[in-house]
Every structure is written in C-alpha cells, then in structure tokens.
Chains A and B, each alone.
Chain A
Amino acid sequence: MKFVTEFRDPVAAKALIAEINSLAKDQPPRKLMEVCGGHTHAIYRHGIETLLPESVEMVHGPGCPVCVIPMGRIDDAIAIASREEVTMCCFGDMMRVPGGTSTLLEAKANGADVRVVYSPLDALTIAEAEPDREVVFLAVGFETTAPSTAITAMQARERNVTNFSIFCNHVTIVAPMKAILDSPGMNLDGFLGPGHVSTVIGTGPYEFVAREYGLPLVTAGFEPVDILQGVAMLLRQLAEGRCEVENQYKRVVRDGGNTAALNILAQVFTIRPHFEWRGLGFIAQSALGLNEEYAAWDAEKRFEFPGQRVADPKACQCGEVLKGAIRPWECKVFGSACTPETPIGTCMVSSEGACAAYFNYGRFRAKKRIPVKAT
C-alpha cells in the first residue's frame, strides 16, 4: 500500500497547502471545476475543501456517470429488466437511481431479475451459464469504463454468445465540458481534469480548453496530494497568466492516452449524434452506441422499450449543480425533499455525486479546527 500512502503524506500535503495559500493570496477569488466524480468524492472524503483558502472554490462538474443518466433511460432499463425472459446486470450504483416512476431496486423487489455485477464480463459469464435467460448488461460510464464494455462485446461475439446484449449508456467527457463552457453565466477559472478518463483518451482532447477558452486545465490523480498539487498547478498557471494543459498524474496518464483501449473503443462503438444528459439536456456527439458490426448484441435493437423523455422534476436543480452555477446546498430541495435515502436528483444517488458527497461528508464546518492527535 506504499503506493497509496505516499500520496496521503501529511507532510507533502501541508507543503502544498502552504503553496496554495501563498499563490491564492495575490489572486482574485478562483472557481475551479473538478470534472470527475472521483475527484468530488475524494475532495469530501479527505476533507480537502476544509483545507483550501476561502478564495479558492471547487465546483463539482458533470463527471459522475450515474448522475448524468436521464430518467427516461432508467425507465427504459426498467422496462427491459421487467421482461419475463430478461436478466438485467448492472453496477450497484445504478440500483437506486430514480427513473420517472421507479428504480431498478423497486423493479427487483417486484420480481424483475436484476443482479449487481462488478464487471461487464461477469454479466457475460452469467449469460453463458444460463443460456435460457436473455442477459442484458446496463452499461454506464465515461471512457474509463467503456473499454471493459467493448472487450465484453468482443468476447461475446468471439464466443458467439447469442443470449447476451448491452444496453449502452456510455458517454464521453469532452462534449459536456464544451457544453458547460458554452453555457451562459459560466464563470470558471480552470479545470481539474479527470484522471482515469485521461488514462484512456490522453490529454490531447483537452487542448481546446486552453486554446479556445483561454482556461488552464491540469489532469490530476485521486489521492489528496494529487488533488492539492493539481490545484496548486492551476493557481500557478493563473498567477503567471498561462493557460495550458498540464498533467499532474504522469504516473498513470500518458499524453497520448492508451492506444490499445482507444482501438478497442473504435472497433465496437460509434458516436451517437446526440444524447440526453440529466440536467444538461441534449448534447451533440456526447455518447457512444454499439456500431453496426455489434448490432446483434445491442439491447436497443433487441428489445422494445418506451424511449420516452422524462422531464427532470421541477424542484430538482441537478443541472445547475452540474454546471457549477449553484453549489449543492443552494438547491431548493437539498437535504429536505432530496436526501441520499430518497434522492430526487441523480447528484444525490452515487457517492460521487456532488450532492451526496456534500450531504455525507461536507456539511460539517468546524468552528475551531480540532488539532490532529498523535496515537
């Protein structure tokens, strides 16, 4: 575990906090967006917001795959899962995501065969073990998880598993970033770039942020020291008047990305013309679907489903939260109607969602800092 502990080293963290404080002192207040839900979770999990100076605000971006799934797609998944012959396999986070009227967890309680898996390959294994069932994998996630779905599709084809299909909801990271940058009232000063997505796509696709929008972006890892160093690098760029794409997470992210993974994505997926995002509306070229070669494993072609768009609940301000326009606790229903037990918006469901992370970890602001006690 040494690999982890050195990135949680209090001495290194304290040095970075001092650097951030001194950089922030001579700058106007800054709003920095961490794009990735993993960052949001880590920021709260490690209490990083309580360490940053008041003039540096972290805005939580759209990079939680669970949070951006529109309600209509959940209804579609429930409709497919409720078919007599179907076994729906999904990641645990998806079970409680609210659709228009219900959740997969409720569908399961009402008799649908919904099973939690830890990898898409587990779903394929189930399909092979139970040839009488129509096994559907509910695929979600950014470029981080899309390669494992692609590998699964390739193996299904190779092994000719005909009772397996994929209900694909994979999305891409760059399109929603563009959408946020183009949205009115956007006032971000820089981006903490997603670490794991970048291991796949590299840092090249973010160049437009610096080139076209004149904002700095630093791709960062997920440990406290990574995040603090990423913030320090952003503030340094801003202090020096630079806007560049920098890579803090060099131990994992190569600038060119993972070419093998990119090849696999290209073989299995095609970019959808548009896709609906929870709270952000339709975004052009923002999602992946299975291509013609894999049509036989595409659940959208195999099953009928309502395909109805469900408007987000009026009270829910997930969109504003995802765009960074408001902070989680500024939402009208935060903590009252919308809680982790009874989420209205998707941001409250996954532990990576900005609202759930804030609800679980962030509500506390110590009046006085309690000193760290040695054992």
Chain B
Amino acid sequence: MSTQDDREKVLERIEQWKLRPPRLTDDVITMAHGAGGKASQSLTEAVFKAAYGGPQLDRLDDGAVLDIPSGHRIVFTTDAFVVTPRVFAGGSLGDLAVNGTVNDLAVMGATPKWLTVSAVLEEGLPMDELRSIVGDVAAAAAAAGVEIVAGDTKVVERGAADGCYLTTSGIGLLPENREFGAEQVEPGDVVLVSGTIGDHGMAVMLARGDLKLDADISSDTAPLHTAVAALLDAVPTTRWMRDPTRGGLASACNELATAANLGVSLFEESLPVNPPVNGACELLGLDPLYVANEGKFVAVVPADKADDALAALHSDPVSAGAVAVGEINDEHPGMVVAHTPFGGSRIVDMLVGAPLPRIC
C-alpha cells in the first residue's frame, strides 16, 4: 500500500472522528467544561440536551424565538437557587429551580410556558450528581408542562461556588382581561392557604444534619399552576395570590398588609401545620408561620366566594389541604395579627435576620 493511501486513510479517520457526536467521558466537572470548546459542547449535548432538549433548545441559537398568542400579555420572572444540601426529603435543587419559577408565574395568574436554565458549576462537581440534578429539572419541567428553551453553563474554580447553583427565568401567558393585585383586596375578604405550612424549610433544615433530629418531614415542592387555574376558573374575582417561600406565610401576609394598607387577621387554630413540623418547630423555638414553603400559595378571595374557592382547590391534589386561615380588615392597616385559640392576640411581624433557634 502506498504512503498516499495511508495518508488518505488517516485523513478519513480524522474526518469521521470530527463528525462523531461529542462523547462525555469525564467523571467530574473540570474548567474545560466551561471553556466553550469541545468539552463544553459535549457537556451540553450529553447532559443538558439529553435531559431536556426540545425544538427550541436543540437549535443551540443565542436565544429562543417565542410566539405570543394574541390576547395575552407575558409575565416574566427569574429566580436563583443555591439550596444546600442539594437533595433533601421530598425534593432537590432541580425540582426547586423549576417549581420556584413556575409558581412565581402561576401566582401572578399566568400560565407558565417557557423557562431558561443557567447553571454555575464548581470545578470538581461529580458528573453523576450533575446528571441527577439536570434529570430532576427535566422531570419537574415535564410535570409542570413548561419547555426549557435556552440555557447557559459556567464553571468556576473549586472553592468559588458551592457545587451547583441554578438560575431559572420563566415566561408565562396572562390573558388580557385578568387583573388582580393587592389594590383589589377589601375588608371582609378571606385569606386561604393551599395546604400545610413550614414543610419545605423544616425538611431542608433537618437534611443539613446540624440539628441531629430525625422526623418524618418532606419538602412540599410542587408546581401550583393547576391549582391556581382551578381557583381562577371557580372564582375569577380572586383578589391576590402569593407563594409564601422564604419568610413563610408571615412574610407573605405582611407584604399583603403593607401593599393593600389593610390589616390581616390570622386565626392560629386554623393554621394547617403537619404534626412533625409543629413538633420540630416547638423543639427549635421556631414559628411555622416563618418557615419556608415551596408548594403552597396564599390567596385572598371575596368572603361569599370562599366556599367555592375551597371546593375548587380541594379538587386538585396539590391543594387538597386548602383551608381559610384569616380575614382582611381595616382595623390595623399594614399589620398582621394572629389570634390565639384562647382569645389572646399578637403581632406577626416581618422576619428579622435568619430564623435561628432560641437558646433556652
């Protein structure tokens, strides 16, 4: 065989190798995965596209082109997720990153449609863990019926970040005629919460392991758009909604009281709290009103529509535990007051600092 033939063969082999889809063989994230070259490409193909690729994302353009149906406005939101640990009872970083943004859109009255996902990865993150996080993102997006249309990945040196941070931005469609907000709230309206409070915050606190407590507590992370849609179908005059994440129900109610310049009265004996969450809060000196939720929303509806609203919420498994927990008044504008079962009352203020256990 001539040398010419040999050279042809080698060149052919190189060409074929170039055409081969990039393969990801690394066990951990390295700086190369963020450098924009072959390694970046293989990470995108083998991890992100493999998990949640679709007609938009697969084009790998610099942006997604989205068609907005007529008669709609868009709601646009963004959220960063840095939870530690990244896996906890009932959920994971990936679940939160999708559900958090989906729920922000849902409680604005919008139908969640599209998400972007940006990942900041720490050098050394095990590839299997990344696959698992991304798999959770894909599953949560599928469950929430949203398409991931764009994304980005950056890698930082070991020590410059804690494993993996995700940022999701989301767009939802809001019908032209749908109006609600704190300014619609009136004295006499009823405050509903879609289920038990404090589950997520307590599940993450226990998963951190510092407390050396063992309890049957799971995060409530879940997409809320179906429950919100059911509520808005049944009670189009719903005044206001919010998902009480960090700062808990207490902070959401304070934001409402301030924005509406009305008082919010909460009835302590109506507040739904899972017994293990209540027990853990008792032990740690925390108030479940201030503990974070990731799969609950609070809604204000006209008093004569409260029963319809609850019936609609009970029809969706994610809000089957919905109850009325309070009412709006004009007696203490800007202030949230809790009424204790034996007739006492106290102010429920905004949280100051981090919720830390009392020491004795």
CB pair A93–B345 under 8 Å, yes or no, is: no
Known contacts A224-B340, A364-B335, A366-B331: A375-B270 contact under CB 8 Å: yes
Of the candidates A95, A140, A361, the one having the most CB atoms from chain B within 10 angstroms of its own CB is A361
In B291-306, the 8 Å CB interface with A consists of none
> Which residues of chain B are within 8 angstroms of A96 by Cβ–Cβ distance?
353
A window 69-100: CB within 8 A of B = 91-93, 95-96
With an 8 Å Cβ cutoff, the count of chain B residues facing the other chain is: 40
Does B356 have its Cβ within 8 Å of any Cβ on chain A?
Answer: yes
B85 in contact (CB, < 8 A) = no
Residue A320 at the chain B interface, CB threshold 8 Å? no
CA distance A351 to B347 in the complex (A): 13
Q: Which residues of B contact A351 (CB under 8 A)?
A: 285, 358
Tell yes or no: A46 within 8 A of B by CB. yes
Which A residues are CB-close (under 8 A) to B345?
Answer: 47, 50, 364, 366, 369-370
On whether the beta carbons of B344 and A373 are closer than 8 Å, the reply is no
Please tell me if the beta carbons of B340 and A46 are within 8 angstroms of each other in the complex: yes
Q: Are B340 and A196 in contact (CB under 8 A)?
A: no
Q: When chains A and B are docked, how far (Å) is the Cα of A141 from the Cα of B358?
A: 11
Q: Tell me the chain A residues, 10-56 only, with Cβ under 8 Å from chain B.
A: 10, 13-14, 17, 37-38, 41, 44-51
Known A-B contacts: A51-B342, A363-B347. Give 8 more (CB < 8 A): A41-B358, A46-B340, A47-B343, A66-B359, A92-B356, A95-B356, A361-B347, A362-B347
- Looking at the complex, which one of A17, A48, A91, A122 makes contact with B210 (CB distance below 8 Å)? A122
Nearest to A92 among chain B residues (CB) is B356
Q: Of B212, B342, B358, which one neighbours A14 at CB under 8 angstroms? A: B342
Q: Contact flags (1/0) for A335-366 with B, using CB distance below 8 Å?
A: 00000110000000011100000011111101
Q: Is A142 an interface residue (CB 8 A)?
A: yes
Q: Tell me whether A13 and B342 are in contact (CB under 8 A).
A: yes
Across-interface contacts of B342 in A (CB, < 8 A): 8, 10, 13-14, 17, 46, 51, 224, 372
Output the residue of A8, A145, A360, A370 with the most chain B CB within 10 A: A370
Residues of chain B in range 256-297 having any CB-CB distance to chain A below 8 Å: 265, 267, 269-270, 275, 278-279, 282, 285, 287
Cβ-based interface call for A279 (8 A): no
Contact of B269 among A144, A364, A372 (CB under 8 A): A372
Q: Which residues of A contact B (CB under 8 A)?
A: 1, 4, 8, 10, 13-14, 17, 37-38, 41, 44-51, 65-66, 91-93, 95-96, 116-118, 122, 140-142, 144-145, 196, 224, 340-341, 350-352, 359-364, 366-370, 372-373, 375
Docked complex Cα distance between A146 and B301 (Å): 51
Could you tell me if A360 and B210 are in contact, using CB atoms closer than 8 angstroms?
A: no
* Nearest neighbor of A105 in chain B, beta-carbon distance: B353
Evaluate contact between A370 and B349: CB separation under 8 angstroms: no
Determine whether B71 belongs to the interface, using a CB cutoff of 8 Å to chain A. no
CA distance A196 to B358 in the complex (A): 14
Q: Pick the contact of A360 from B212, B347, B356, B359 — CB < 8 Å?
A: B347
Please provide the 7 A-B residue pairs with the shortest distance between their CB atoms, ordered closest to farther: A47-B344, A92-B356, A13-B342, A361-B346, A10-B342, A340-B352, A91-B359
